[in-house]
Amino acid sequence: MNYQFRKEVQVAQKAAMGEMYNLAKESLGVNDKLINFASGHPSTDVFQDKFLKKYMNFALEDGAKELLQYGAHAGYMPLRHSFRRFVNEKGMTVKEDDDLMITYGSVEAIFLVTAAFVSRGDKVIVEVPSYVNAIKSFQLQGAEVVGVGMEEDGVNIEELERAMKEGAKLFYTVPNFGNPSGITMSAEKRRAVYELALKYNVPVLEDNPYGDLRYRNDRIPHIKEFDEEGAVIYISSMSKLIAPAVRVGFLVADKELIDRIIPIKAVSTNGVSSIIQYALWKMFEENDMYEQIQKICDVYEKKLYLMEEKMDECFPASVAHSTPDGGMYIWVTMPDGTDIQKFCRESAIRLHIPITPGNGFCVTEPEKCTSMRFNFVKESMEDIAYGIEKVGEFMRDYLGGY
Ligand code: PMP
């Protein structure tokens, strides 16, 4: 069949993290060990399978017939209420349950918001670097994705203003411990972003899947907390707090906007599984979820500190790394001119240590990117220590002692 794919589908590519993992796996000898720093996944050690099983069983026992039925497109109302309470406990002021809808992970929330706003050729502004699946979601739906630079305290405000002035449908940001940068946007910049959104009528899509995984420094208000005009769409997810397989995320926005998104959700996934929503509702009703999340933070925090310490000890002075306050990733930058794709390929093939090259996260000048993303939560403490030593040795070799 001569398939006539849309232009955007023809150019879509597979993820680089999978490519590096496959290279490492293919070159693995019998006595070799693969240490995966390329992954985008949380650690399986923190998944509370027994806890989840208890609530899945509840769901099946409590009301099996009803829960096997189709549910409301915007989600199971008691869960919408539980999530509203959950985010309000951390500083948000979501007024009504109708201001929150349930999605299949936050990746679906990104897709739905894009579908609601973006026609082919419309501009969407993203940070450089930014979350690769968000970039792809915008591009697949026909957006022209415009990049604005990042600084240590978040997006470059002057560049953002220039981009917004030219007109855009959305500004997408991950203000807490961004994927891949690990950067956190300062409170001043969050306020400035909100004011620019109002000035230029460009809504902010605030993606916060990692915000609760904070290991140091104080919480900074969400951009959504400033919002009195419906300028901010806030999304988050259970993937890093419970497990990715539950595939539950949520979106907070004015009811007026949610009412526009619901018909899109109706024809895309027709609502999220009622069984899983019921199980999560029960779980949120019966437990202090912030206590559960603290258990994850206790594990991840140690891994972050270890990886940073080993990077400081083993990486050449010409190599820099970000110092995230939370989340799952450290962004490592090699000297200008380094071919980062080649470095990551060789690390995968020779060391069996896949790392994700940064190019795919950058919408402007991806070929000039000399950074790569390390996942610091997935591997054990021993493998982090050993793996970073090996990568450090290889860097010295690769950079010829610099
Ligand atoms: N946003 C960001 C910034 C992410 O890193 C991820 C997952 N890695 C997602 C959204 C999507 O997560 P999910 O669909 O599992 O909620």
Name residue, tokens 């589908």. Answer: 9
Q: Which of 51-65, 70-84, 202-216, 254-268 has the lowest mean pLDDT?
A: 51-65
DSSP readout, 204-225? Answer: EEEE-SSTT-B-SS-----GGG
Tell how far the Cα of 262 is from the centroid of ligand 1, in angstroms: 21
Task: Output the CA–CA distances (angstroms, integers) from residue 393 to 315, 345, 356, in the order listed.
Answer: 8, 16, 18
- Note if the bond before 180 is cis, omega within 30 degrees: yes
Q: What are the two backbone dihedrals, phi and then psi, of residue 33, each rounded to the nearest 5 degrees?
A: -125, 140
Decide if pLDDT at 362 tops 90.
yes
Give the integer Cα–Cα distance in Å for 31 and 43: 24
Residue 40: CB within 6 Å of ligand 1?
A: yes
pLDDT digits (tens, 9 = 90+) for 1-19: 999 999 888 888 776 668 8
Q: Angle 148-149-155 (CA atoms, 0-180°, nearest 5)?
A: 85
Residue 375: CB within 6 Å of ligand 1?
A: no
Residue 182: CB within 6 Å of ligand 1?
A: no
Contact in structure between 265 and 109 (CB atoms under 8 Å): no
Residue 237: CB within 6 Å of ligand 1?
A: yes
**End-to-end CA, the chain:** 53
Contact in structure between 135 and 145 (CB atoms under 8 Å): yes
Q: Whose alpha carbon is nearest atom 5 of ligand 1?
A: 179
Q: What is the pTM of this model?
A: 0.96
Neighbours of 347 (CB within 10 A): 26
Tell how far the Cα of 63 is from the centroid of ligand 1, in angstroms: 31
With b for 16 or more beta-carbon neighbours within 10 A and e for fewer, the 201-214 pattern comes to ebbbbbbbbbbbbb
pLDDT digits (tens, 9 = 90+) for 121-172: 999 999 999 999 999 999 999 999 999 999 999 999 999 999 999 999 999 9
Mutate to test the pocket of ligand 1, among 107, 126, 240 (most ligand atoms within 8 A of CB): 107
Mutate to test the pocket of ligand 1, among 102, 150, 179 (most ligand atoms within 8 A of CB): 179
Amino acid 272: pLDDT: 96
Closest C-alpha to 86, from 173, 212, 216, 204: 212
Q: Please classify residue 311 by burial: count the beta carbons closer than 10 Å to its beta carbon, then call 0-12 exposed, 13-18 middle and 19+ buried.
A: buried
Q: Whose alpha carbon is nearest atom 11 of ligand 1?
A: 107
Amino acid 18: pLDDT: 85
Residue 177: CB within 6 Å of ligand 1?
A: no
